[in-house]
Amino acid sequence: MRNSQYIEAPQMLLNSLIYAGGSGVLSVITACLASYVLAKYSYLKWVRSLWGIVLITNYLPISSSLAANIKLLTDLGLYDSMIGIMLWQCGAFGYIFLIYYATWKSVSWSYAEAAFIDGAGHFRTMLLIMWPMTRTIFGVLFIQQFITLWNDYMTPIIYLPSYPNLSFGAYQFQFSNANVDVATPPIQIAGLLMLAIPIFVLFMVFRNKIMGSLTLGGLKG
């Protein structure tokens, strides 16, 4: 941590909210935009070529080393930066992309064609006509990504040493032997339960959205 200072629970909570919320929104937005282009403009040759690249990168075990990632982020000035890690997390591809791609495929292109006739451009059509019909899946994917990032303690350890989140604090708390009272199992379990409460509340509030399915209306004749 920066200057070897202790960071207390409120600051860890703020770091968790910023990291999980910001990275979650950006990752879903980039997947939404990329999947829209590949799903709705597949008649273009370069889009079909890009779709092949997407399949290869998603299903083949292609990955860079940890040292290379840290070197790249350091050279770009993004290491140990909350904004930098958000940008690094917002890769457009992955399971979020595949789910959104299937969602876009289920949305009729006739809506966009009607908007084009009325003079709307491609971006305006996507933003005002097509995207509102997928807001439910956008929210569900954001909640899923938020929960995943909320429980992520490895990224703060490796890439955000100055911005520990609650999961990082719980990780240290769980294996702390500095204080005999803190090291007792009941105290540790109570601390871990406090970490799980926000996620439990979030799930209970949006459980119908998460467990339900997206229903799209049809065109009127």
3-state secondary structure 71-131: HHHHHCCCCCCHHHHHHHHCCCCCHHHHHHHHHHHHCCCHHHHHHHHCCCCHHHHHHHHHH
Distance CA 133, CA 218 (A): 11
Local confidence band at 29 (pLDDT 50, 70, 90 cut-offs): very high
Whether pLDDT at 212 is above 60: no
For 146-202, the pLDDT digits (tens) are 888 888 878 888 888 888 877 777 766 666 655 555 656 776 777 677 777 777 787
The mean pLDDT of 100-120, rounded to a whole number, is 87
CA distance 175 to 173: 6
| Fold assignment, 7-211 | MetI-like fold (1.10.3720)
Rounded Cα gap, residues 191 and 134, in angstroms: 37
What is the arithmetic mean of pLDDT over 24-31?
Answer: 90
CA separation, residue 132 to residues 6, 37, 138, 141 (Å): 44, 16, 9, 15
Average pLDDT, the chain: 78
**Predicted pLDDT at 85:** 85
Amino acid 168: pLDDT: 72
Six-digit token string for 63: 């990955």
Question: Which residues, including other chains, have CB under 8 Å from residue 91's CB and lie 6 or more apart?
Answer: 27, 30
Quick one: how far is CA 35 from the chain centroid?
15
Alpha carbons 30 and 211: distance in angstroms, whole number: 23
Q: What is the mean pLDDT of residues 63-77?
A: 80
Confidence of residue 71 (pLDDT cuts 50, 70, 90): confident
Measure the CA–CA gap between 169 and 3, rounded to whole angstroms. Answer: 17
Does 39 have pLDDT greater than 80? Answer: yes
Is the pLDDT at 97 greater than 70? The verdict is: yes
Domain spans, the chain: 7-211
